[in-house]
């Protein structure tokens, strides 16, 4: 079955915009769960990014029985033994994530500030079959917030000398963890839609 619309298990406008930009060339419309009428907030109690992504995807799929996309992302800091990791979204009150992390890293020297962003995207097709795609972006934690684009930890995550908040959305999509995971899914869905046309 050709996929023309996907419900994304999020109400985060930034995540939604990234997905919309990536899937638009396939003629696939991505809408939020709120737009689709799926008012649900499942408990993200998984131990891994993949488990949390699947929890969110299945919660929306169980209501709508249509193609659903969900992701779970986090920042893994080596000096903090991988924290905040799967708890990234709940590490600090919204808007205070960078401040709390910078405080935790205040005595860590530059050479030990390595970190990585990780995203796992979960996709369920109309029949509920699962696809998982992972994206990883290595970088480092800066010493201060920089830039006005992006969201979450973007102002303190450095990639090739710039914070993610200093990248345009197009630049970030090309190199980011979520961009990588979504591009992997893009290739899978492109093949699926092409196969659909070939089989008709």
Segment 54-85, tens digit of pLDDT: 999 999 999 999 999 999 999 999 999 999 99
Known catalytic residue: 72?
A: yes
What does DSSP assign to residue 84?
B
- The percentage of the chain sitting over the pLDDT mark of 90, rounded to a whole number, equals 74
Per-residue pLDDT for 174 more than 90? no
| pLDDT (0 to 100) of residue 151 | 82
| pLDDT (0 to 100) of residue 172 | 82
Task: Out of 62, 71, 72, 199, pick the active-site residue.
Answer: 72
Kindly give, in sequence order, each residue whose CB lies less than 8 Å from that of residue 149, ignoring residues fewer than 6 positions away: 164, 165, 166, 167, 168, 169, 172
Q: Distance between CA atoms of 118 and 136, rounded to whole angstroms?
A: 5
Q: Where are the domains of the chain?
A: 5-199
| pLDDT (0 to 100) of residue 150 | 77
Q: Model pTM? A: 0.84
Beta bridge partners of 6: 30
Question: How far is C-alpha 1 from the geometric centre of its chain's CA atoms?
Answer: 26
5-199, CATH topology level:
Maf protein (3.90.950)
For residue 176, name the pLDDT band (cuts at 50, 70, 90). confident
Q: Distance between CA atoms of 121 and 59, rounded to whole angstroms?
A: 15
Per-residue pLDDT for 198 more than 60? no
| pLDDT (0 to 100) of residue 199 | 46
| pLDDT (0 to 100) of residue 197 | 47
Q: What Cα–Cα distance (Å) separates residue 152 from each residue in 14, 15, 25, 156? A: 10, 11, 27, 9
Per the prediction, the chain carries an average pLDDT of 91
């Amino acid at each position: 079955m050709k996929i023309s619309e996907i419900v994304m298990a999020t109400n985060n406008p930034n995540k939604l915009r990234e997905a919309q930009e990536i899937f638009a060339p396939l003629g696939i419309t991505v809408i939020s769960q709120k737009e689709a009428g799926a008012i649900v907030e499942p408990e993200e109690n998984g131990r891994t990014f993949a488990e949390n992504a699947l929890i969110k995807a299945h919660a929306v799929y169980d209501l709508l029985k249509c193609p659903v996309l969900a992701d779970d992302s986090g920042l893994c800091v080596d000096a903090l033994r991988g924290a905040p990791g799967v708890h990234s979204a709940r590490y600090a009150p919204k808007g205070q994530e960078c401040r709390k992390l910078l405080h935790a890293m205040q005595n860590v020297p530059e050479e030990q500030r390595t970190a990585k962003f990780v995203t796992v995207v979960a996709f369920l097709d109309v029949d509920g079959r699962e696809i998982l795609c992972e994206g990883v972006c290595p970088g480092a934690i800066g010493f201060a917030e920089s830039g006005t684009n992006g969201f979450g930890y973007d102002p303190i995550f450095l990639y090739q000398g710039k914070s993610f908040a200093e990248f345009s959305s197009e630049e970030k999509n090309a190199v980011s963890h979520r961009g990588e995971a979504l591009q992997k899914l893009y290739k899978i869905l492109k093949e699926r839609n092409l196969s659909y046309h070939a089989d008709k």
